[in-house]
Structure 1
Amino acid sequence: MGKFFLTMQARAGIPGTVWALGFVSLLMDISSEMVSTLLPLYLVGGLGASVIAVGLIEGLSVAIATATRFLSGVLADWTGRSKPLAVLGYGLGAASRLIFPLAGSVDLIVLGKAVERVGKGIRSAPRDVLIAGVTPPQMRGAAFGLRKSLDTVGGFVGPLIAVALMFLLAGDILSVFWIATVPAVMAVLVLMLAVREPAPAPRKADTPFRIGDALRLNRAVWGVIAIAAVLMLARFSEAFVLLKALEAGFTPAWVPLSMVIMHAVYGLAAYPVGRVSDRIGVRGLLILSLIFLIGAHLVLAFAGSIPAYLLGTVLWGLHMGFSQGLLGAMIAGATPEALKGTAFGTFNLVTGAVVLIGNTAAGWLWHSYGAHMPFLIGAGLSVLAILLLMRPTALSRP
């Protein structure tokens, strides 16, 4: 298995560890999307949950993970080891897949989402530290973009598998949840067998790691985190995009197709955008990503037909492709080597808390004012993020 990723490194110049982590993300995302594309339908149609409950569950699952994201990043810096934490995180993600097919109540769905998100929280910062540690600075945009692209390949393969299984199994959602455990287990095996952790950077004897260092990240890191927070507030959970598909005319079996299209666009864009950012910088690309997001929100707010809805998902996918890989590369570039885990953990902590607020608010707005309102508010917040990016002090260097 290791030889395969070394071959990929020789062909593309990106370290084999990055390729391996990309395939781990691909497999886990296949599993995640097989569940997440059908879970809102199961909650609303199978368990009778409200749209507000969907927003709370999506937001709560992220909130549960925020503390673990921060602590795992700090722990990675403290121990100098990232792979064991990544294995633990992906292992919990695989274990959570066993809960969803057994869930006969909303409470068990909340438990499954909590275990899944704790696992995601534990693995996120250590995985990004591994990528930053093996990648030269001049290639970080491409490396983080590649990881995101492979992740999003899983993002559209997973819903395709879900659609096929829904037809083959006559709409049996719980059976699809059972099958989703297979790629999750494969992801953990690839991580354990193919990812090698680089030797930790030597730490000076008179500068030991201190927990208080987490509060002294430089201005450049906090600038990236602030912009990402506004961006995350503007882009709430994709669960609401999936629910909008029903209003646009999709039948439940075809709803995952919208995620196939979104993630295909996302995956095709992320790696090339990452390479371009290594040459020209990130500000213009992030502004363009937000223009795509404004378009997506406005189209989805009033989408009353399948073609209009699909246009909105394409624009959403372009926004993701033009933004997600860049944020990780920006954090890596702005942070001292000994604090990368802490920086990624803090980044995930803040953005996770923002996602909780955004998802809960989106569910309330949908319930109180109609499906169009969260998208209109999201468009306004996207404009605010553009204004922040256009300030001369935005994205300042450390």
Structure 2
Amino acid sequence: MFAGISLNVLVLGLVSFLTDISSEMIYPLLPLFLTRVLGAGPAFLGVIEGVAESTAALLKLFSGIVSDRVRRRKGLVLAGYSLSSIARPLVAAATSPVAVLAIRFADRVGKGLRTSPRDALIADSTDPTARGKAYGFHRAMDNGGALVGPLAATALMTLFAEDLRTVFWLAAIPGFLAVLLIVTSVRETARQQASNGSFLRYVPRGRLRRYLIVLFIFTLGNSSDAFLLLRAGELGVSPVKIPLLWAFFQAVRMLFSTPFGALSDRVGRRRLIIAGWSVYALSYAGFALATSELACWLLFAVYGLYYSMTEGVEKAFVADMVPATERGGSFGWYNFAVGVGALPASLFFGAIWQQAGRLAAFGFGAAMAALAVLLLLTMVGTSASGAGNAHSSP
């Protein structure tokens, strides 16, 4: 099971596991906290999520490029996790939606600092023939934390009579443990540094550029998962069950991420991404038409498969296309393409839902995914699967 998984990848997986316990003790409850406690609506929820993710996207680009130019990626990884671990639990003290926006902004600054250097460090620490499996394993650990977090939130809500603020404060504990693990156990790897030339040299070229354009188009229809939790409430899932539903969703992601990542090492990344985006389109169409709580649970399972088929595979696809000296910057552009599309995606979705209803909103997401599948088929050519993919953009 752990063949091809280096010590660094294992430790970074544990870090993500702990961080996501902390994050997912808060995130599934945040829509309820905003709407029922602080009085925000779907449109403001879209603003919060869009601004948060787009902020992270800009910093992921910057931190990725910087990490190629410095000797130690670990410093950026540590700084990012530390900032998020400090900021995230402060949601407990928020008294207005604007305060939540500020806290989410600080949390995502931390995510922006750490993500691209961490992704590059995973590639630095992994044999190319096991790259899909390594990223799949990392996503599985991340999703494992996202499974435990909602379960912990459910238990704590029961213990503290559904006191959301107490649950948010306690989320600080696993975040602190994650930071401690980085300090003591993550190691740098030997690698060649990029030259300190113009930042323009990091602008994607060739096949990578085309892939990122298609990915951006897909992201425009990929709004915040907070809207799915809002939809779950409409379908009859009670507040106490919301964390359980989220945990179920994360369990699906955790169980299938490593197998799908390993599969991409054998059959190729593009095939898995196309299949995953198609599953996304089907799940969003289902959320638009669902009429029962049971349908909601089934759709969250299907939606979890979409994540398992694409999260790690998309990153391995990027690593396959670039030389080692450009990994950080390339992951920066990958994360930028995903994140910069998140702001209009969530704004569009929230506005469409509020003005035209859920059918139009979820239909828009499904249509954009279908368009992205067609563009990936026509614009981004295939090459040898797994490690056999070219390491430079044609």
Q: TM-score, normalised by structure 1?
A: 0.93
Tell me the equivalent position of 1:385. 372
How big is each residue's C-alpha offset from its partner over 1:72-118, in whole Å with a ceiling of 9 and x where there is no partner?
Answer: 11110111321000000000110112321111111210111001100
Count of aligned pairs between the two proteins: 385
1:109 is the counterpart of 2:100: yes
Task: Confirm or deny: 8 A CA contact 2:250 2:304 kept in the other structure.
Answer: yes
Structure 2: give runs of 5+ residues left out of the alignment.
384-389
SS in 2 for 1:98: helix
Tell me the equivalent position of 2:230. 243
Tell me the equivalent position of 1:19. 10
Tell me the equivalent position of 1:220. 207
The residue type paired with residue 151 of structure 1 is D
Q: Cα RMSD (Å) of the superposition?
A: 1.5
Change in 2 beyond 3 A, CA 1:52/1:392: closer
SS in 1 for 2:328: helix
Bigger shift: residues 352-361 or 220-229? 220-229
Change in 2 beyond 3 A, CA 1:157/1:68: same
Task: Confirm or deny: 8 A CA contact 1:14 1:143 kept in the other structure.
Answer: yes
1:177 is the counterpart of 2:181: no
CA distance in 1, matches of 2:180, 2:382: 38
CA distance in 2, matches of 1:224, 1:274: 18
How big is each residue's C-alpha offset from its partner over 1:292-345, in whole Å with a ceiling of 9 and x where there is no partner?
Answer: 112211111122211111111111100000001011111111112111111111
Task: Confirm or deny: 8 A CA contact 1:295 1:312 kept in the other structure.
Answer: no
Tell me the equivalent position of 2:267. 280
Tell me the equivalent position of 2:283. 296
1:211 is the counterpart of 2:202: no
Task: Confirm or deny: 8 A CA contact 1:23 1:150 kept in the other structure.
Answer: yes
CA distance in 2, matches of 1:36, 1:326: 25
Tell me the equivalent position of 1:3. none
Task: Confirm or deny: 8 A CA contact 1:77 1:209 kept in the other structure.
Answer: no
CA distance in 2, matches of 1:346, 1:172: 40
1:248-259 equivalent positions in 2, closer than 5 A: 248-259=235-246
SS in 2 for 1:236: coil
In the alignment, which of 327, 331, 335 is matched to residue 348 of structure 1? 335
Task: Confirm or deny: 8 A CA contact 2:18 2:174 kept in the other structure.
Answer: yes
Q: Give the deviation of 1:166 after TM superposition.
A: 1.4
CA distance in 1, matches of 2:318, 2:132: 11
Tell me the equivalent position of 1:28. 19
Q: Give the deviation of 1:200 after TM superposition.
A: 2.9
1:310 is the counterpart of 2:297: yes
The residue type paired with residue 378 of structure 1 is G
In the alignment, which of 137, 143, 160 is matched to residue 134 of structure 2? 143
Q: Give the deviation of 1:233 after TM superposition.
A: 2.2
1:118 is the counterpart of 2:105: no
SS in 1 for 2:26: helix
1:234 is the counterpart of 2:221: yes
Task: Confirm or deny: 8 A CA contact 2:193 2:325 kept in the other structure.
Answer: no
Structure 1: give runs of 5+ residues left out of the alignment.
1-7
The residue type paired with residue 198 of structure 2 is R
SS in 1 for 2:132: helix
How big is each residue's C-alpha offset from its partner over 1:239-294, in whole Å with a ceiling of 9 and x where there is no partner?
Answer: 00000111110111211222111111111111101111111102221121122112
Task: Confirm or deny: 8 A CA contact 2:147 2:248 kept in the other structure.
Answer: yes
Q: Give the deviation of 1:212 after TM superposition.
A: 2.2
How big is each residue's C-alpha offset from its partner over 1:359-396, in whole Å with a ceiling of 9 and x where there is no partner?
Answer: 01010011111123221111111110111122164456
CA distance in 2, matches of 1:125, 1:254: 34
Task: Confirm or deny: 8 A CA contact 2:59 2:112 kept in the other structure.
Answer: yes
CA distance in 2, matches of 1:46, 1:371: 23
SS in 1 for 2:290: coil
Tell me the equivalent position of 2:118. 127
The residue type paired with residue 360 of structure 1 is L
Change in 2 beyond 3 A, CA 1:202/1:251: closer
The residue type paired with residue 158 of structure 2 is F
Q: Give the deviation of 1:154 after TM superposition.
A: 0.8
In the alignment, which of 351, 358, 361 is matched to residue 364 of structure 1? 351
CA distance in 1, matches of 2:178, 2:202: 30
1:270 is the counterpart of 2:270: no
SS in 2 for 1:279: helix
CA distance in 2, matches of 1:209, 1:131: 24
The residue type paired with residue 45 of structure 1 is R
Tell me the equivalent position of 1:327. 314
Identical counterparts, % of pairs: 36
1:200 is the counterpart of 2:200: no
1:191 is the counterpart of 2:182: yes
Q: Give the deviation of 1:234 after TM superposition.
A: 2.6
The residue type paired with residue 196 of structure 1 is R
